[in-house]
Amino acid sequence: MYILQSAKADVEINITTEILPSINSNNIVLPWKLVRIDIQQLNVKVGHHFDFEEDGHERSYNQHVKSENKTQYNVYLVRETDQFVIPFGNVNAITVIALLRMGLIEQQIELCYKKFLHLPLYEDMATWNIVFRHGNLEYIDFDTKNTFYDKIVPSAAQIIAVLINYKRTLLDLDKCGEKAETSLGFNYISECVGSEFNGPCPDLAYQVPCGDHTCRSSYIDCLQALLAYNKHPEVKGKSLHQDKYSQWSFNKLGAIKRKNKLI
């Protein structure tokens, strides 16, 4: 048994090695030998997915591998941002992003495409969250794999229409200010509620930074919250931007006109 450490100080590997004869299908010993290397224990810092640098991902994990025997491994990740443990159990699959970057022939890509279209709809169906296992594709994102969107996605156009038409009435009422910036740059959900509060709002379900220093699901939710936030008659019902050259901020007394912009 050998204890190995790579050039990277954050990698620790405990392995066993074994030299085996190479035998063909006719049970004939071939004139070369095989070296079998089994990982007994592994602790290594890893990135988000295969060649993650190409996609600008900065999230990192500590990967742990512990072997039960020569065929059974317990694999789990510890997310660095919150120390959340993501179990993998026995690893017998490979991500689609890894397959694509190692190289697939056209027929294999077509097979993946057809199988992908038959998957249920999940929140984050990027190629690093889809694996090829036992001839099929599976979705593996631990945080979102139990929520399905097959019944919601067909209403996508109607939901967008709600947000667009709602904004039109706010504009006519002169109650729509600048757009708030979301961390993922989504359109439609953050109209009219730009303020001095910019988040961060990391939760995908609550992407909109609102003037009451909370993160909301949409600008409509934000405006409704601001209306409830303003308890004083002189400010109740005011928008974040009463006109397009004014900005509003908030303290314990409600909305306060912060500054006027010069044209």
Q: Mind listing the pLDDT tens digit for each residue in 36-77?
A: 888 888 888 877 776 676 766 777 888 888 887 777 778 888
Q: How far apart are CA 248 and CA 180, in angstroms?
A: 13
Q: What pLDDT sits at residue 241?
A: 39
Peptide bond into 154 cis (omega under 30): no
Report which residue type is found at 21: P
Q: How far apart are CA 79 and CA 61, in angstroms?
A: 5
Q: How confident is the model at residue 249 (pLDDT cuts 50, 70, 90)?
A: very low
Q: How far apart are CA 139 and CA 122, in angstroms?
A: 8
* Beta bridge partner(s), residue 85: 78
User: pTM of this prediction?
Assistant: 0.67
The tokens describing 223, both together, are 């405006």
- Whole-angstrom CA distances from 220 to 104, 124, 163, 188, 255 are 45, 24, 8, 11, 18
Instruction: Yes or no: say if 121 and 148 are a contact pair by the CB < 8 Å rule.
Output: yes
The tokens describing 82, both together, are 């919150």
More confident residue, 230 or 133: 133
Q: What pLDDT sits at residue 56?
A: 67
First to last CA, the chain: 74
Q: How far apart are CA 226 and CA 254, in angstroms?
A: 9
Which of 214, 233, 234 shows the shortest CA–CA distance to 224?
A: 214
- The residue ranges of every structural domain in the chain are 1-90, 92-149, 153-260
- Whole-angstrom CA distances from 249 to 149, 233, 257, 259 are 37, 17, 6, 9
